[in-house]
Amino acid sequence: MKPTHVLVVGASGSIGRHAVEKARAAGYRVRALVRDPSRIHFGCGVEVVQGDLTSVESMRQALDGIDGIVFTHGSNGGPTLTETVDYGAVRNALEALDGRPARIALMTSIGVTNMDNDYNRSTEAHDWKRHSERLVRASGNEYTIVRPGWFDMEGADEHQLKFEQGDRRDPMGPQDGSAARRQVAQTLVDALGCKEADHKTLELIDVAGTAQTDAELASMFAALQPDTGLDGVLDRDNFPECTQPKRVREQIARIETMRAEQ
């Protein structure tokens, strides 16, 4: 399903701004969800709406008439904030859709399946981003999940995108993988209208070479393996569902049920 009316969640952020412009240039009707419309201005043709991504009712209003969602939000906080924002926005959007289909492009992070490191132990960021990925996969919607490397820390000659799967880089610094913000946005928006990108999870980095066209990215999506369960197709098996918080398991079951009842 190629969407026509796209909501960008986190539209005022460093990736979201690029995603709004890319989606508009691609011919989509674009709605930008922001906390404070007075602090952001997009060009002609972009509808800016105020909303709270931690509220199901606010997300329901933002999603009225929407058939595509680009999630570019992120909290960069501790466990509570990460659950409320990084995971919560995805959960609330799916709750607000109430089983209505929407094409989804979700940005998480490279290294998200690396649970055993100091960063994740202190923030639980990887845990909650991975929970959000599982919600999207469980929802029955068409989707693409993009796990970018470090933002805008690529080399001067590194403009060529590389798609990987399996999340084996475990990046501790930009030397382990980086990607330009505008190219992260390009990948997310291109995925919306690309049937070959459906049910695919990928890690995204820049390598030496020139940037690809949108048509070339479509071929790269086609070469990826599709997901078959709650995790990315080649992800390490280190996050047993039975050991996750009860509320998360209940939310996944609820999302699955809502779509089945449609």
**CA–CA gap between residue 188 and residue 235 (Å, rounded):** 20
The residue count of the chain comes to: 262
pLDDT tens digit sequence for 56-88: 999 999 999 999 999 999 998 889 999 999 999
Mean predicted confidence (pLDDT) in 13-22? 97
Is-contact 94 34, C-beta < 8 A? no
Is pLDDT above 80 for 209? yes
Query: CB atoms < 10 A from the CB of 61, how many?
Result: 14
One-letter amino acid of 67: D
Q: Taking residues 10-24, report their average pLDDT.
A: 96
Q: What is the pLDDT of residue 171?
A: 67
- Mean pLDDT, rounded, of the chain: 94
Domain CATH number, residue 62? 3.40.50.720
- Asked if 86 and 130 count as a contact pair (C-beta separation under 8 A), the reply is no
Give the separation between CA 109 and CA 148, rounded to whole angstroms: 5
- Residue 209: which domain range? 5-260
Report how far residue 100's alpha carbon sits from residue 1's, in angstroms, rounded to the nearest whole number: 13
Residues near 56 by beta carbon (within 8 Å), at least 6 away in sequence: 92, 95, 96
- 215-226 residues labelled b (16+ CB within 10 A) or e (exposed): eebbebbeebee
pLDDT at 107 over 80: yes
User: How much of the chain, in percent, has pLDDT values that exceed 70?
Assistant: 99
Give the separation between CA 255 and CA 94, rounded to whole angstroms: 7
In total, how many domains does the chain have?
Answer: 1
Its pTM surpasses 0.85 = yes
Q: Model confidence over 37-51: pLDDT tens digits?
A: 988 889 888 999 999
**200-229: average pLDDT:** 96
| Partners of residue 34 on adjacent β-strands | 50
pLDDT at 167 over 90: yes
Residue 250 belongs to what H/E stretch?
A: helix 246-260
CB 196 within 8 A of CB 221: yes
Give pLDDT, residue 219.
Answer: 97
**pLDDT tens, residue by residue, 109-163:** 999 999 888 889 899 999 999 999 999 999 999 999 999 999 999 888 999 999 9
Specify the pLDDT at position 221.
Answer: 98
113 Cβ neighbours under 8 A, 6+ residues apart: 126, 130, 167, 231, 232, 235, 236, 238, 239
pLDDT per position as a tens digit, 175-196: 778 999 999 999 999 999 999 9
Q: Say how far apart CA 159 and CA 57 lie, in whole Å.
A: 40
How confident is residue 173, by pLDDT bands cut at 50, 70 and 90?
confident
Assign 261 a pLDDT band (cuts: 50, 70, 90): confident
Q: What's the rounded Cα separation, in Å, for the pair 125 and 77?
A: 8
Separation between Cα atoms, residue 241 and residue 7, nearest integer Å: 30
- Distance (Å, rounded) from C-alpha 236 to C-alpha 232? 9
User: Which residue has 């197709």 as its token pair?
Assistant: 233
Q: How far apart are CA 211 and CA 168, in angstroms?
A: 24
